[in-house]
Amino acid sequence: MDKISLIIPCYNEEQALPFLYKEIKKVAAEMPGQEFEFIFINDGSRDRTLELVKELRLEDERVHYVSFSRNFGKEAGIYAGLKSATGDYIALIDADLQDPPSLLKEMYESLKSADYDCVATRRVDRKGEPPIRSFFAKQFYRIINKISDTEVVDGARDFRLMTRQMVDSILDMGEYNRFSKGIFGWVGFKTKWIAYENVERIAGQTKWSFFGLFLYSLEGIIAFSTRPLLIASVFGILFCFIAFLMISVIIAKTLLWGDPVAGYPSLICAIFFMGGLQLFCLGILGQYLSKTYLETKKRPIYIVKEKA
Ligand code: UDP
Ligand code: MG
């Protein structure tokens, strides 16, 4: 008999949890041949999420939980969940029912019947999302896939079912700056994609602001590409070359026509431009340095307050 672990990262999900539990219980009942465990990761919720999970545990021994000492972010939650999972097959699923649990059966059957290591999901549309957010999301996937060797699938959700082997490889990646969408691609393995239409969250609110998503996308780029550093160098070389041309022109003009004092405005513009560009490139360097700095500290990815 196979055991399936469901990992559910939860941050202030008291409103959505009852709906989710009902759904996953139903799915588990539809798959009597498989044993289940539900691992709730309480990511420092400030509402009754943990109490609710504890109540569920009283009546259902398949329910387990890991509760963090504070909010560490969903990536940390995923890592903690994968670490605690004891199943042969491990699924990640959001608490807000944006990932339909009813797909689990189909996902499991694909893994069993065909030669796949993972069944992942992507949404084909972004219904119910502000257009400007969708636009930036599209640009992000375009850029990261251009400058990174790791494939990051547009619209991919974290909702996926993986074999134990794949999960063990993910756990081997102990990096502090975790960008799961990249990590899943980086470890490789054969992935089957299931597409579905976007579902809106059942209750509660999204934890992501536009700015939060923007910063997250930069993290993703920095974690899975060093190309921006190359861009900085290319800028440097290009501008040295332009400066060399300009010097030659000025020397020639001076020799031919004397040295009239002119060009003050253009000089100021050039200084500002070069200053800005240098700061920009320094900033890129700084981003990589700060990530390296955090990695070298080897801080734990999360801290557990209680678990069961
Ligand atoms: N989540 C988490 N820690 C956080 C933020 C979110 O564990 O700091 C969980 C959240 O409870 C939910 C999932 O991650 O189960 C996805 O979050 P959300 O629905 O807010 O993101 P969206 O679907 O809007 O991208
Ligand atoms: Mg959601």
Confidence (pLDDT) at 264: 74
Does pTM top 0.85 for this prediction?
A: no
Q: How do beta strands 63-68 and 156-163 pair? A: unpaired
Q: Provide the token pair at 129.
A: 């999302």
pLDDT digit string (tens) for 100-149? 898 999 999 989 888 899 999 998 887 777 888 888 888 999 999 888 88
Q: What is the pLDDT of residue 63?
A: 95
With residue 183 as reference, give the H or E element that holds it: helix 180-186
Quick check: 108 and 34 in contact, CB under 8 A?
Answer: yes
Q: Which amino acid residue places its CA nearest to atom 2 of ligand 1?
A: 74
Tell me: domain 3-203, CATH 3.90.550.10, correct?
Answer: yes
As beta bridge partners, residue 9 has 41
pLDDT of residue 10: 95
- How many Cβ atoms are within 10 Å of 149's Cβ, its own excluded? 10
Q: Could you give the CA distance from residue 276 to residue 280 in angstroms, rounded to a whole number?
A: 6
Confidence at residue 22, expressed as pLDDT on a 0 to 100 scale: 92
Could you tell me the distance, in angstroms and rounded to a whole number, from the CA of residue 115 to the centre of ligand 1? Answer: 31
Tokens representing 128 are: 């119910």
Q: Is the pLDDT of residue 259 over 70?
A: no
Q: What's the mean pLDDT when you consider all of the chain?
A: 89
CB 183 within 8 A of CB 173: yes
What pLDDT is recorded for position 260? 66
Mean pLDDT of the region 195-212: 83
Nearest to 6 by CA among 56, 71, 69, 58: 56
Q: How far is CA 258 from CA 246, 251, 252, 253, 255, in A?
A: 17, 10, 10, 7, 6
Residues of the chain with pLDDT > 70: what percent? 99
The answer to whether residue 188 scores a pLDDT higher than 80 is yes
Residue 171 φ then ψ, to 5°: -65, -25
Q: What's the pLDDT at 270?
A: 82
For ligand 2, a single-atom ion, which residues have Cβ within 5 Å?
96, 98, 201
Question: Residue 22: which of 81, 97, 89, 108 has the closest Cα?
Answer: 97
Check whether 80 has a pLDDT greater than 90. Answer: yes
Least trusted range by pLDDT, from 3-7, 15-19, 273-277, 301-305: 273-277
Question: What whole-number distance in Å separates Cα of residue 301 and Cα of residue 290?
Answer: 16
In this structure, are strands 3-10 and 89-92 parallel, antiparallel, or unpaired?
A: parallel
pLDDT digits (tens, 9 = 90+) for 284-294: 889 899 999 98
Per-residue DSSP letter, 129:
S
Ligand 1 environment, Cβ below 6 A: 9-11, 13, 43, 71, 73-74, 77, 94-96, 98, 201, 206-208
CA distance 244 to 285: 25
Contacts of 119 (CB under 8 A, 6+ apart): 107, 108, 110, 111, 160, 161, 191, 192, 193, 194
Substitution candidate for ligand 1 out of 11, 40, 97, 123 with most atoms within 8 A of CB: 11
pLDDT at res. 171: 95
* pLDDT for res 25: 92
- pLDDT higher than 70, residue 89: yes
Question: What spacing in Å lies between the alpha carbon of 94 and ligand 1's midpoint?
Answer: 7
Distance 207 CA to ligand 1 centre (A): 6
Higher pLDDT, 196 or 119: 119
Measure CA 131 to chain center: 20
Query: Please, what's the largest Cα pairwise distance for the chain?
Result: 93
Which range among 10-24, 160-174, 267-281 shows the weakest confidence by mean pLDDT? 267-281
Question: Residue 201 CA: which ligand is closest?
Answer: 2
Assign residue 248 a region (left: φ > 0; alpha: ψ between -120 and 50; beta: otherwise): alpha
CA angle 63, 158, 150 (to 5 degrees): 140
Tell me the CA–centroid distance for residue 298 and ligand 2, in Å: 30
Question: Which stretch of DSSP H or E encloses residue 5?
Answer: strand 3-10
Give the amino acid at 236: G
Which residue, by CA, sits nearest to atom 19 of ligand 1?
Answer: 206
Question: Residue 168 has what pLDDT?
Answer: 95
Residue 245 predicted with pLDDT over 90: no
Q: What is the mean pLDDT of residues 8-28?
A: 93
Q: How far, in Å, from the CA of 98 to the mean position of ligand 2?
A: 6
The rounded Å distance from CA 206 to ligand 1 centre is 7
The predicted pLDDT at position 49 comes to: 93
Q: Which of 53-62, 134-143, 205-214 has the highest mean pLDDT?
A: 53-62
Atom of ligand 1 nearest to the CA of 95: 15
Res 212 pLDDT > 90: no
Predicted pLDDT at 115: 86
Indicate the range of 94-103, 116-125, 232-241 predicted with least confidence.
Answer: 232-241
